[in-house]
């Protein structure tokens, strides 16, 4: 019997690798498609080390439609596609907008064309809370207005969601979901996989763990004069393992659907934490004082955003099981494992 195969583009990346582990734990066989532009080959070995199963690996760029067609047309038993592969640095996207539009949109359209021709179904798209911009009301629901994105990166996510909606309207049997992530943090409890930022981390938590590990002199808090209780920005930080499990739940949700569907889900914890709260929680978990300074605001930052996750809880039959402390503990353990290896 053909194994329950799931194509995972960007499967050697941060969220992709954690999702491959949870797919295997749920009895699926991931087929990783990755060009290793922003990921490392050894992560595939680590997935095997954690689960005992080595995913198939196809090394190709997701914008290479004919390459994808050649490599995938022989596969049987494909139960779904999870599309992570994308450029995702907000700041970089303002410097290289065309690279971002080409890569993020062309990869999505190539895969959708392929789905149709090869008779695949159940497409899960990696979207982001960035599509909401600065929400007027909190918590954010899936019906909250989509605002003008703050960056080309955010616009590629909005545009890809529109592409998928039009695709599903024109192909009514197709089943498609867009998962809007809030702020993924943390690492697998084994410390064998985790976040591998290239160069200076843009995101808060890897910058914190690298500072604590002595790789950075200090963390700069980007502004403490916002309209929040302690003056620092508020985000919804979700453990990457909870996020990975939500992708398995999304695939199973699509498989359950008798008819075609396009749907959207927020994936967060439903709770907001400020930058200073994250720092304090990290200090408590790691048992150290973090060297940080208050600096100027970072342009493009929104003040406060956290998710209403009732829809995902109900429809995906998924709930977060881990909290901020768990995520910071696992992030710190992963950082220390990197230093040892």
Binding site for ligand WQD (CB under 6 A): 88, 90, 128, 130, 181, 183, 202-204, 207, 219-222, 233, 235, 275, 298, 301
Q: Give the shortest CB-235-to-ligand WQD separation in angstroms.
A: 5
Q: Give the shortest CB-341-to-ligand WQD separation in angstroms.
A: 24
Residue closer to ligand WQD (CB basis): 93 or 174: 93
Q: Give the shortest CB-48-to-ligand WQD separation in angstroms.
A: 27
Dihedral angle sign, alpha carbons of residues 305, 308, 313, 316 = negative
Residue closer to ligand WQD (CB basis): 14 or 28: 14
Q: Give the shortest CB-100-to-ligand WQD separation in angstroms.
A: 12
Residue closer to ligand WQD (CB basis): 63 or 183: 183
Q: Give the shortest CB-155-to-ligand WQD separation in angstroms.
A: 12
Residue closer to ligand WQD (CB basis): 89 or 114: 89
Q: Which residue is nearest to ligand WQD (CB)?
A: 233
Say how far apart CA 328 and CA 334 lie, in whole Å.
10
Q: Find where tokens 């190539």 sit.
A: 110
Contact (Cβ atoms closer than 8 angstroms) between residue 133 and residue 157: no
Q: Residue 301: what are its φ and ψ, rounded to 5°?
A: -70, 135
Q: In the chain, how long is the greatest CA-to-CA distance?
A: 60
Residue closer to ligand WQD (CB basis): 68 or 243: 243
Q: Residue 67: what are its φ and ψ, rounded to 5°?
A: -65, -45
Element (H, E) at 33: strand 29-33
Which residues are part of the catalytic machinery? 153
Terminal Cα distance for the chain, rounded: 40
Of 69, 161, 178, whose CA–CA distance to 116 is shortest?
A: 69
Say how far apart CA 109 and CA 152 lie, in whole Å.
18
β-pairing, 29-33 vs 56-58, is parallel
Say how far apart CA 233 and CA 227 lie, in whole Å.
8
Residue closer to ligand WQD (CB basis): 64 or 283: 283
Say how far apart CA 154 and CA 66 lie, in whole Å.
27
Q: Give the shortest CB-330-to-ligand WQD separation in angstroms.
A: 16
Q: Give the shortest CB-27-to-ligand WQD separation in angstroms.
A: 28
Contact (Cβ atoms closer than 8 angstroms) between residue 233 and residue 299: no
Residue closer to ligand WQD (CB basis): 219 or 243: 219
Strand partners, 125: 83, 178
Say how far apart CA 226 and CA 292 lie, in whole Å.
18
65 by Cβ neighbours in 10 Å (0-12 / 13-18 / 19+) ranks as middle
At 301 the three-state DSSP class reads coil
């Amino acid at each position: 019997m053909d194994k329950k195969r799931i194509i995972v583009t960007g499967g050697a990346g941060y969220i992709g690798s954690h999702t491959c582990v949870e797919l295997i734990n749920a009895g699926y066989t991931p087929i990783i498609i990755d060009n290793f532009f922003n990921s490392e080959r050894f992560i595939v070995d680590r997935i095997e080390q954690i689960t005992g199963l080595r995913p198939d690996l196809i090394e190709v760029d997701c914008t290479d439609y004919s390459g994808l067609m050649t490599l995938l047309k022989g596969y049987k038993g494909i139960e779904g596609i999870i599309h992570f592969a994308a450029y995702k640095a907000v700041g970089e996207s303002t410097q290289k907008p065309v690279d971002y539009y080409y890569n993020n949109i062309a990869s999505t359209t190539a895969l959708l064309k392929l789905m149709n021709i090869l008779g695949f179904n159940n497409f899960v798209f990696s979207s982001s809370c960035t599509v909401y911009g600065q929400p007027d009301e909190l918590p954010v629901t899936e019906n909250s207005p989509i605002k003008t994105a703050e960056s080309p990166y955010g616009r590629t996510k909005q545009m890809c969601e529109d592409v998928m909606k039009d695709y599903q309207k024109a192909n009514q049997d197709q089943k498609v979901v867009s998962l809007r992530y809030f702020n993924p943090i943390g690492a697998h409890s084994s410390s064998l996989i985790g976040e591998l930022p290239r160069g200076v981390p843009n995101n808060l938590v890897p910058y914190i763990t690298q500072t604590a590990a002595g790789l950075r002199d200090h963390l700069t808090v980007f502004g403490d004069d916002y309209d929040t209780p302690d003056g620092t920005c508020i985000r919804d930080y979700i453990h990457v393992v909870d996020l990975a499990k939500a992708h398995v739940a999304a695939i199973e949700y699509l498989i359950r659907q008798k008819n075609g569907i396009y749907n959207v889900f927020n994936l967060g914890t439903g709770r907001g934490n400020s930058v200073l709260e994250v720092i304090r929680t990290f200090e408590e978990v790691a048992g150290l004082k973090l060297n940080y300074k208050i600096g100027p605001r970072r342009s493009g930052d929104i003040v406060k955003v956290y998710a209403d996750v009732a829809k995902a809880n109900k429809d995906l039959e998924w709930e977060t099981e881990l909290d901020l402390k768990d995520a910071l503990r696992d992030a710190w353990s992963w950082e220390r494992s990197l230093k040892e290896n």
